[in-house]
Amino acid sequence: MSRWSLYTWKRDGRSLRRALPTLTVLAALLTTSAGVAAGAAEAVERDVLGSGGLTQIELSSFEGEESVRPLTTSALQDAENAPGVRQVVADYSSGLYAEEDGTYDLTSHTLTPGDDLPVTKGKVPAELGRSEVVLPAVAQGTDFAPLLGRTVAFGYTKATGAASGTTAVIKLKIVALYDPTWQADGPGVAYLSEDTAALLAAARAGQEPEVFRDKEGAQSATVVVDHQKQVAAATKTLQDDGFSASPVSDRVRNLPGLFGAADLAMRVGVLILALVAIGLGVVRAADSTRARIGQFAILRILGSGRPELRRILLGEAVLSGGVAGVVGVAVGTGVSLALVSPLSDVLGLPIKLTDALPGPGWVAAALLLPALGLAVGTLLGSREVLRRDPYLTARAHS
């Protein structure tokens, strides 16, 4: 970088300073995306891991996938016998609907150790009883608050043939209500004990619960080990036994879906930032050098060599990219922090301000890429124009 760059960048409107606004916006967008994604991921991770996720392993049953062991009673018993395993809770999915008041139709699941429900009213016991249920505070227009603590009759489907069934009734005490924006298993879910959830699932399949659990098995199961250190070994044992097993902590840290897409989008964003910076450098450096060829000729006669002229342009590129990076990161971080509250509302999870700070890798990319890209582009763009001595070019045009 030449000291002349400080003058030309600051005072000459034809310098590479013109690339500043575009690069600032891109750096800010990248930083904001990184901050928002980090905030969301942190909140979800904390939510899942906070409920003991660090000591949990998830077993999945893929329907029709013969290589994966079904989660039948005997299989779950095997899992429970694996070294270090303290508890196995199977999740059976079915449905509950209104029998008396209201028109709701709720999905039912087993309340597993992985479900960290944000309870708003009532209390979830250490182990949910067979005749107890936890509901969302509001679902499908029905407010369950007045029913809290009461035993309510719910309807469920009992299959009587291949395409026929009747309604059966089960009475359950509503022991707690949770924030309905918490939708880890989808909207409007009723959480039951494992036995009750299995009863409903079996009824819908037209089977006795024991038969259903022995033959069909659970959709998924949560395995709890005694200590975090045992997770890896237990997972390996379960996988060797044919289970589809993965530590909850890994699953959370490699959050699929939305967070995976956000991560991909940011990687694309980094690529765009780099390419735009290089492209701007190529175009702007060539244009700027042509427009200022007379100035460069004067600098030549004042003692600057062509390498110094390149250093002037490089200096302008580094200053422009550097300022764009710093301002972009500052603005992007500010926007990301400002979005914490609305993002928290959307996810239904508390997000700390520190959660929404973009990761160091993304910050480094947003800080450095504008300057690096613009510098590379400037070297490419100015090469052709500076191939001939600016003094001779200017004299030829004068």
What does the binding site for other proteins look like in residue numbers (CB under 8 A)?
2-4, 6-8, 11-12, 294-295, 297-305, 307-308, 389, 391-392, 394-395, 398
Residue 324 has a CB neighbour count (10 Å cut-off) of 30
Q: Shortest Cβ distance from residue 331 to other proteins (Å)?
A: 28
Closer to other proteins by Cβ: residue 67 or 398 = 398
Spatial distance between the Cα atoms of 248 and 251, rounded to a whole number of angstroms: 5
Pairing between β-strand 56-60 and β-strand 244-247 as defined by DSSP bridges: antiparallel
Q: Shortest Cβ distance from residue 303 to other proteins (Å)?
A: 2
Closer to other proteins by Cβ: residue 2 or 230 = 2
Spatial distance between the Cα atoms of 11 and 32, rounded to a whole number of angstroms: 31
Query: Quick one: which of 35, 37, 62, 39 has its CA closest to 260?
Result: 37
Spatial distance between the Cα atoms of 164 and 159, rounded to a whole number of angstroms: 6
Q: Shortest Cβ distance from residue 287 to other proteins (Å)?
A: 17
Closer to other proteins by Cβ: residue 353 or 392 = 392
The residue type found at 142 is: T
Q: Shortest Cβ distance from residue 382 to other proteins (Å)?
A: 18
Q: Shortest Cβ distance from residue 307 to other proteins (Å)?
A: 7
Spatial distance between the Cα atoms of 183 and 176, rounded to a whole number of angstroms: 16
Closer to other proteins by Cβ: residue 202 or 394 = 394
Q: What CA dihedral angle connects 232, 235, 240 and 243, to 10 degrees?
A: -160
Query: Quick one: which of 288, 395, 237, 364 has its CA closest to 19?
Result: 288
Q: Shortest Cβ distance from residue 312 to other proteins (Å)?
A: 9
Closer to other proteins by Cβ: residue 156 or 296 = 296
Contact 4, 299 (CB under 8 A): yes
Q: Shortest Cβ distance from residue 316 to other proteins (Å)?
A: 12
Closer to other proteins by Cβ: residue 155 or 294 = 294
Closer to other proteins by Cβ: residue 97 or 391 = 391
Q: In whole angstroms, what separates CA 108 from the centre of its chain?
A: 26
Q: Shortest Cβ distance from residue 301 to other proteins (Å)?
A: 4
Closer to other proteins by Cβ: residue 3 or 236 = 3
Spatial distance between the Cα atoms of 278 and 292, rounded to a whole number of angstroms: 20
Looking at 124-247, list the stretches that DSSP marks H as alpha helix, in order from N- to C-terminal side.
194-204, 209-215, 231-240
Spatial distance between the Cα atoms of 385 and 309, rounded to a whole number of angstroms: 11
